[in-house]
Amino acid sequence: MRILGIDPGYATTGFGLITSDRGQQALLQYGTITTPKELPFPDRLRILYDDMARLLEVTKPEAVAVEELFWGHNITTGIGVSHGRGVILLAISKAEVPLFEYTPMQVKQAVVGYGKAEKRQVMDMTRRILNMKQVARPDDAADAIAIALCHARSNTSLLSKLENP
Give the domain CATH number at 23: 3.30.420.10
DSSP string, 37-99: TTS-HHHHHHHHHHHHHHHHHHH--SEEEEEPP---S-HHHHHHHHHHHHHHHHHHHHHT--E
Domains identified in the chain, total number: 1
Q: Which domain holds residue 92?
A: 2-163
Give me the pLDDT at residue 79, please. 83
Give me the pLDDT at residue 71, please. 57
Question: What is the rounded CA–CA span in Å between residue 59 and residue 79?
Answer: 28
pLDDT, tens only, 67-96: 997 655 555 567 888 899 999 999 999 999
pLDDT < 50: residue spans in the chain: 158-162, 165
Q: Between β-strands 2-7 and 12-21, what pairing exists: parallel, antiparallel or unpaired?
A: antiparallel
Question: What is the rounded CA–CA span in Å between residue 10 and residue 48?
Answer: 7
Whether the CB-CB separation of 10 and 71 falls below 8 Å is answered with: no
Give me the pLDDT at residue 78, please. 72
Q: Closest by alpha carbon to 145, among 32, 21, 10?
A: 32
State pTM to two decimals. 0.90
CB-based contacts of 135: which residues, under 8 Å, 6+ apart?
Answer: 123, 124, 126, 127, 142
Q: Please give the positions annotated as active site.
A: 7, 67, 140
